[in-house]
Chain A
């Protein structure tokens, strides 16, 4: 089987698993004790949050790889993973806003978890904007890698925000506070979303490689001068 086909198996498996998880979350599991049916939003919201943070972590490692190893493949993977991380964060914020209206009474509050998530989206969108404005491919690769690492600094803050600042957003859940049947569907949907995200990143990286007219030197990392304007 060609590698091209294997990618699609990943995506198809993700879609099939996600369809099953959505069916379980929407129609099979009972309503949540206090949130009632609104709690069904959490079967996509929590997996999306984990997906956004994990893909952002992948983007950070790829950025380090791009700086150390250099080359078009690393830069394409960086572009793809940052874009998917931004997409997931955008989904996360919209889901959270929709869930917040019936539970908190407002679509948005400047709660630390929400605020740091919005900053995360702005940071990763900023990396993509930076890529759009820098024409020199070596400089674009180096600058966006550095910007991604800086943007990633917000991700642990997003994760720990509910622990550091106890405000509106609920704190961490665990197997003692959530029924096992609910946990299983959350994990199932997370796995499905990660398969889909992996497929998307591979496809987007291929597109990035095919779309660039100028070729970076595959054999060398970005020169230090590429990090300096005018260098």
Chain B
């Protein structure tokens, strides 16, 4: 025991993965909804 956290990569991947997933999902939803709204406006 030296006061240094051992391992922990699973937490690193979880934090980065969840963050990127949230950001990408939100961006995808906005882009798809915007595309649908634009095509609806043109028709």
Q: Which residues of A contact B (CB under 8 A)?
A: 11, 22, 26, 33-38, 40-41, 44-45, 48, 87, 90-91, 94-95, 98-99, 101-103, 196, 200, 203-204, 206-207, 210-211
Complex Cα–Cα for A91 and B27 (A)? 14
Q: Mark B1-38, 1 if CB is under 8 A from A, else 0.
A: 00111111101101110110011001100110110011
Majority-rule SS of B interface residues: helix
Q: Which residues of B contact A (CB under 8 A)?
A: 3-9, 11-12, 14-16, 18-19, 22-23, 26-27, 30-31, 33-34, 37-38, 41
Q: Which residue of A lies closest to B16 (CB)?
A: A44
Given A91-B22, A95-B18, residue A211 in contact with residue B37 (CB < 8 A): yes
Number of interchain pairs (Cβ within 8 Å): 83
Q: Which of A34, A40, A87, A207 contacts B33 (CB 8 A)?
A: A207
B11 to chain A, nearest CB (A): 5
Given A44-B16, A200-B26, A211-B37, residue A34 in contact with residue B3 (CB < 8 A): yes
A102 touches B15 (CB 8 A): no
Complex Cα–Cα for A101 and B8 (A)? 10
A211 to chain B, nearest CB (A): 6
| Given pairs A35-B5, A91-B23, A210-B34, 18 additional interface contacts (CB within 8 A) | A11-B27, A22-B16, A38-B8, A41-B11, A41-B15, A45-B15, A87-B23, A91-B19, A91-B22, A98-B14, A99-B11, A196-B23, A200-B27, A203-B27, A203-B34, A207-B30, A207-B37, A210-B38
B23 touches A103 (CB 8 A): no
